[in-house]
């Protein structure tokens, strides 16, 4: 829900902590009149994320690896 406070390209105007899971920060979820969203929200292991993507997200404050993650990923 904290994502609603962040700014990113393509963020739907009016996204807040109440609708972040509906809009996924972008467009409406399936079943709404504006069914344009193609995003899915699902957790993934940091081990399968490209290292450059991890570094970018760490730099932006979107991902904070714990000590074990940092060690395992060589961060």
Domain ranges of the chain: 1-41, 43-75
**Per-residue confidence (pLDDT) for residue 59, from 0 to 100:** 92
**Per-residue confidence (pLDDT) for residue 37, from 0 to 100:** 59
**Per-residue confidence (pLDDT) for residue 47, from 0 to 100:** 87
Burial class (CB in 10 A: 0-12, 13-18, 19+), 65: middle
Cα three-residue angle 75-10-1, rounded to 5 degrees: 65
**Per-residue confidence (pLDDT) for residue 17, from 0 to 100:** 85
The answer to whether 38 touches 23, Cβ cutoff 8 Å, is no
CA distance 69 to 56: 16
Residue-level pLDDT, tens digit, the chain, 75 residues: 787 888 777 777 788 888 877 767 665 555 555 555 566 777 888 889 999 999 998 998 888 888 988 888 888
């Amino acid at each position: 829900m904290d994502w609603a406070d962040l700014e990113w390209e393509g963020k739907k105007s009016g996204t807040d902590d109440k609708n972040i899971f509906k809009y996924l920060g972008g467009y409406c979820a399936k079943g709404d009149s504006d069914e344009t969203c193609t995003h899915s929200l699902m957790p993934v292991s940091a081990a399968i994320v490209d290292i450059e993507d991890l570094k970018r997200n760490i730099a932006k404050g979107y991902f904070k690896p714990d000590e074990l993650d940092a060690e395992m990923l060589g961060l």
